[in-house]
Amino acid sequence: MKSMTLRLSDEIAAELDAVARVDGTTVADQVRSAIEDRIAARRADEEFQARRRKALEENKAALERLAR
């Protein structure tokens, strides 16, 4: 598992802490869940997928050159 540092405003940090306490979870669990939800939403977002495909195609040639 990768460790990360996240900077939040005091207000958001306090609200996140309150949500975690009410839900009976940790702040880390809340953050992981929010990130998982965001990634799932991006996977279902056609505009995002179109940009992903374009970026993949644009980088394909450079990545193939690096493989030589």
Q: What is the DSSP track for 11-61?
A: HHHHHHHHHHHHHTS-HHHHHHHHHHHHHHHHHH-HHHHHHHHHHHHHHHH
Q: Is the confidence at residue 67, as pLDDT, over 90?
A: no
Residue of 31 and 66 predicted with greater confidence: 31
Its pTM stands at 0.79
Q: How confident is the model at residue 64, as a pLDDT?
A: 86
Mark 38-48 as b/e (b = at least 16 C-beta within 10 Å): eeeeeeeeeee
- The pLDDT tens digits for 8-46 are 999 999 999 999 999 999 999 999 999 999 999 999 999
Q: How confident is the model at residue 10, as a pLDDT?
A: 98
Q: How confident is the model at residue 61, as a pLDDT?
A: 85
